[in-house]
Structure 1
Amino acid sequence: MRYLFHCWFMCLLFCNLSSLPFLCMFLSGLSDLVIVIQSQRNSFHARRGGQRKVEILQQAAELGQGDPVVLLLHELLEYERDWMIIPLLPNLSATYGQSASWFFFIEEETIITLPNLLKVLHRYEVQEEWFLGKRLHDNEASIIHHYAFSEDPSSFSYPDPAAGWALSIPLLQRCIKHKHLKSDFTIDLKHELALYIWEEGNGPKLTAVPEFCTDTSDKCATTFTTYLPNCGNPVSRKEVFVAVKTCHRFHSERVPVVKATWEKDAGFLEYYSDVTDASIPTINLGVPNTERGHCGKTFAILRRYLSKDVPEADWLLIVDDDTLISLPRLRRLLRCYDPKEAVSLGERYGYSLLLNGYSYTTGGGGMVLSRAAVSRLVSSGCRCYSDDAPDDMVLGRCFTSLGVPITHSPLFHQARPCDYSETLEQAVSFHKHWNIDPVIVYKHWLQDTQPTVEL
């Protein structure tokens, strides 16, 4: 006991006299920290999350001041809804609330510099409610944020998950006392988390932390490189079968945009319409056009993809006729995934997640399915309840019931570039032609200047 008291006294003395006073917090700071890596169940993402955990613990060991708790989100999931984090907060509080001062959330590819992170957190009184992150905001009212704060969109900020974001224990305990969401749909998790924490003015707004970075600097506590990892050579063009959903109404309006932009990058591509048009050409699958939802057409595409009528390919990409996409970047991304695994990849949305709902890959940004996923879905007997049911939601409900995870990539976008924060840099896809020139958008955001090596 006398020895421990002596060490404690010397620590205080050192911290008061040292020219680097932040080092003092190493003695207890790491053990006060819970790091949650927002990993996913897909094998590639689970592996990347595990690698990040090892790196963090190795860094902690080199500091020699104890270990933080490092959690992988996909290992915490009891239900599919838990990826939205809000349902997990009570469990996190009950398990770690007595021993931790901070919860810090990062992406699988976020790199932490622990000494800098502890220095940052040491600036904030842990007895207070803190919500810390790199500040993002809307420049104009956005459909993906339900047009929130339309009078002054920039007045509300939300964190960039790539840079990491932190909750103090008092704030986490506040959050678990209310369970109200403004919408049944989870569309942009970072914005909806910020709204939930803000609690219509009863909770804190985001405090901007310049050391939470998505670039590289000596002062950064976190850095981030890319959502488009390099897993080797892109998959072959012939390994991606592209299905474009269209209808007679848009043959002369939207299809020419596809042909003028990204069609040339496809190995196998077919247009599916309600009429046969040899000039495109289109294929009529015998499913009438519907004003909303295209479930009947999409399920017909799934069956055709598995048939002998088309070349066999590992991957199926289903897009709308007003989807803009970079197929070379998609092929590079797909190298990271195993087509023998049931994969549903794209921009993940959620429906009624707090009430045992389900996740789904939103259709406009592009739905990428492995052959294994399509085979499992079709053989399961899952059906549309009507031809005009929302195809992406029906697929999500089916995959949820089959235990197939919805794999999210921020590179896919259901809306236009202007609907996202100004920090948007990378993309595989965008959707919609409203009030934009789609060809210019494609050339600016999606067309690569360097040709992709063909295999």
Structure 2
Amino acid sequence: MPGGISLSSTALLLYLIGVLAAHSPKENTHSSLKHEKSAFQTQLPLELGEIVIVIQSQSNPVHKKRADDLKESILNQAAKISKKLPTVLFLHEIVSNEGAWTVLPVIPHFADIYASNSSWIFFCEEDTLVTLQKLLETLQRFDKSKNYFLGKALYDEDSTIIHHYAFAENPSIFKYPDFSAGWALSMPLVKRLAEILSKDPPSSDFTIDLKHEIALYIWQKVDGQELTAVPEFCTENPASRKATGCATMFNNTLPVCGTPVKNEDIFVAVKTCKKFHKDRIPVVKQTWEKNAVHLEYYSDYADPTIPTIDLGIPNVERGHCGKTFAILERFLKSKIRHKHWLIIVDDDTLISLPRLQNLLSCYNSNEPVFLGERYGYGLGARGYNYITGGGGMVFSREAVREFIGSKCRCYSNDAPDDMVLGMCASGLGISVTHSPLFHQARPADYSKDYLSHQVPISFHKHWNIDPVKVYYTWLAQDKREDLQKRKYLKEDL
């Protein structure tokens, strides 16, 4: 596995950050402060042992290591505070279910196992920095005998496709949690949700944006239960002055674990068709193509001026499974088979290849890695996860070998390629590795606050935007692009 800083040094860094932040004062700006003070005065002090901390972990070794580091940091902090330690769990290990990451299927387990001796379930991501003393003080402000759903509030400025255009008339009225800041459910709410889930599980077949979907389910099923915004749940960088008094923080830099993968080791396949040669391909050439050493355009028509390669697969309106599997087979059988990584993107995907090179330093191409933005299908009925294609699908060479070496194939040329690959991955035991830095939609489809602590790798779709401007605003970072970026944005003004 590529190298990085050691487990112990990472855990120590997290611990020291936590200790320093725990002793920093912060003005409390919560809207219901008087009610919280009253609750604080009447209820018994909250013990660390009453908190169950769930790290929203993944099985990939890189992500498992990050979760291990965070757990060590939390337990080290706890040992300095109390003899009663919190329970720290890894979400992907709680139940044997591909849908465990969607949280709701695990709620009945929490109610059964922890309801009698716990007061809060606190969720956080593997890269969330937790200041345990401050977290304890923050949760103490809320009456643990009542229903509470706590977090850092996000909202949509405009209705968006990834949220199924919910609250179209005024989307900003609905708040949902930023998982990077951590979020919490009181045990009474966990028990209530468990009762509801046993009779009325989520009805949607697709899991697209989990944080919004969980908040919507709670709001719909638990008497309009809304998210309570907690200012101590933060996504500030720990080095920022704004992080003073935060119970949680977030390291908002691009994950890098060693020397970036050489661009010579990445092969880029762009899926296109004749009708998009004149409008979409020029955008690719004007933006990110220059950062690719090995790139080919695959179409239903061989156009030497681009050039494009006709794979012999007829164009279809949707799905494109036949074309995608032909690309996978070509990757293994042609001279490019020695490349370590394959990325398949649509012709309207915008991507930063230099950032991808940095991210891939964290993964081992000799292992079956299938990376991108994770969606879920039919997870309530033991369905499967998949990498949504528009944001880019990244395959290690070993993953491609296992896909093509299996009997898994398209049931039709227009079958949804990303979902078929998800079914294949499930059958082969290849984990779908999620990165929130890949995006199936446009920047305008996401909360500004959510994107503010990201270093995005991709966006998708040219609809109703200037895609070149989007690229230079969100994805350009190479020094060679600086002059072109300034020139383009100046002309745009």
Q: TM-score, normalised by structure 1?
A: 0.92
In the alignment, is the contact (CA less than 8 A) between 2:193 and 2:222 conserved in 1? no
The counterpart of 1:172, out of the listed 190, 198, 211, is 190
Following TM superposition, by how much is the alpha carbon of 1:309 offset from its aligned partner in structure 2, in angstroms? 3.6
Q: CA deviation at 1:26?
A: 11
The structural deviation recorded for 1:81 is 1.1
- The one-letter code of the counterpart of 2:428 is L
Q: CA deviation at 1:381?
A: 1.2
Q: Deviations over 1:319-371 (max 9, x none)?
A: 00000000000110000011111111000000111011111000000000111
Secondary structure of 2:54's counterpart equals: strand
Query: What TM-score does the superposition give when structure 2 sets the normalisation length?
Result: 0.85
Counterpart selection for 2:234 from 174, 190, 213: 213
- 3-state SS of 1:310 partner: helix
Task: State the Cα distance separating 1:205 from its structure 2 match.
Answer: 0.5
CA distance in 2, matches of 1:200, 1:83: 20
Letter in 1 for 2:61: S
Question: 2:92 maps to which residue?
Answer: 74
Which residue of structure 1 lines up, in the alignment, with residue 491 of structure 2?
none
Task: State the partner residue of 1:236.
Answer: 262
Q: CA deviation at 1:234?
A: 1.0
Report the Cα distance in structure 2 between the residues aligned to 1:121 and 1:100, rounded to whole angstroms: 13
Inter-partner Cα distance in structure 2 for 1:420 and 1:346:
17
* 8 Å Cα contact 2:255-2:359 kept in structure 1: yes
Preserved CA contact (<8 Å) 1:227 1:411: no
Give the letter for the 1:42 counterpart: N
Aligned counterpart in structure 1 of residue 397 of structure 2, from 371, 392, 414: 371
Q: Mapping of 1:320-399 within 5 angstroms? A: 320-399=346-425
Task: In structure 1, list runs of 5 or more residues that go unmatched.
Answer: 1-21
Give, as a single letter, the amino acid of the residue that structure 1 aligns with 2:470. V
Candidates 434, 442, 445, aligned match of 1:408 = 434
Which residue in the other structure is 2:278 paired with?
252
2:10 paired residue number:
none
2:279 alignment partner, SS class: coil
How many angstroms does 1:177 deviate by? 1.9
Q: Does 1:135 align with 2:156?
A: no
Aligned: 1:59 with 2:85 = no
C-alpha deviations, 1:131-187, integer Å up to 9, x for none?
000000000001000001101100100000000000000101111122332521100
Conserved in 2, the CA contact under 8 Å of 1:227 and 1:410? no
The answer for the alignment partner of 2:181 in structure 1 is 163
Partner of 2:223: 202
Q: Comparing 137-146 with 232-241, which one deviates more in the overlay?
A: 232-241
1:267 Cα deviation (Å)? 1.6
Change (3 A) 1:103 1:207: same
How far residue 310 of structure 1 moved from its aligned partner, in angstroms, is 2.5
Q: Is 2:107 the counterpart of 1:89?
A: yes
* SS of aligned partner of 1:178: helix
Q: What is the one-letter code of the residue matched to 2:308?
A: T
Q: Is the 8 A contact 1:37 1:49 kept in 2?
A: yes
Change (3 A) 1:445 1:26: farther
Say yes or no: does 1:268 pair with 2:268. no
Matched, 1:429 2:486: no
Find the counterpart in structure 1 of residue 60 from structure 2. 42
Residue pair 1:186, 1:351 contacting (<8 A) in 2 also: yes
The code of the aligned residue for 2:92 comes to: H
Mapped partners of 2:351, 2:424: distance in 1: 26
SS in 2 for 1:288: coil
Contact 1:109 1:227 in 2 (8 A): no
SS at match of 1:306: helix
Mapped to 1, the partners of 2:75 and 2:337 lie a distance apart of 47
Structure 2 residue aligned with 1:9: none
Q: Per the alignment, in what secondary structure is the counterpart of residue 391 of structure 2?
A: coil
Matches of 2:469 and 2:203, distance apart in 1: 35
Q: Determine the structure 1 residue equivalent to 2:22.
A: none
The answer to whether residue 138 in structure 2 is matched with residue 112 in structure 1 is no
1:27–1:65 contact (8 Å) kept in structure 2: no
* Bigger shift: residues 61-70 or 145-154: 61-70
Counterparts in 2 of 1:152 and 1:280: CA distance versus 1, 3 Å: same
| Residue in structure 2 matched with residue 317 of structure 1 by the alignment | 343
Alpha-carbon deviations, 1:349-407, whole Å to 9, x = none? 00111011111000000000111111111111101000000000000010011111111
Residues 1:190 and 2:211 aligned together: yes
Give the 3 Å change call, closer, same or farther, for CA 266–26 of structure 1 in structure 2: farther
Tell me what 1:147 maps to: 165
C-alpha separation in 1, matches of 2:192 and 2:253: 32
Post-superposition Cα deviations, 1:30-74, rounded to whole Å, max 9, x if no partner, equal 000000000101110011101110111011112234210000112
Letter of the 1:219 partner, please give it: G
In 1, the alpha carbon distance for the partners of 2:365 and 2:73 equals 28
Which residue is 1:444 aligned to? 473
Residue type at the aligned position of 1:408:
H
Residue 34 of structure 1 aligns to a residue whose secondary structure is strand
Distance 1:306 1:367, change over 3 A: same
Superposition misfits of 4+ residues, deviation over 4 angstroms: 25-28
Q: Which amino acid aligns with 2:393?
A: M
Cα separation, 2, equivalents of 1:157 and 1:401: 37
CA contact (8 A) 1:339 1:371 kept: yes
Matched residue type, 1:102: W
Task: Compute the displacement of 1:433 (Å).
Answer: 0.3
Give the direction of change, closer, same or farther, for the CA distance of 1:311–1:379 in structure 2 (3 Å limit).
closer
- Following the alignment from structure 1 to structure 2, what is the Cα–Cα distance between the partners of residues 87 and 228? 31
- Sort the Cα spacing of 1:329 and 1:386 in 2 relative to 1 into closer, same or farther, 3 A: same
Aligned amino acid, residue 361 of structure 1: I
SS in 2 for 1:279: coil
What letter corresponds to residue 211 of structure 1 in structure 2? Answer: E
Structure 2's unaligned 5+ residue stretches are 1-39, 482-493
1:101-156 CA-partner distances (Å, limit 9, x unpaired): 00000000001111111111011000100000000000000100000110110010
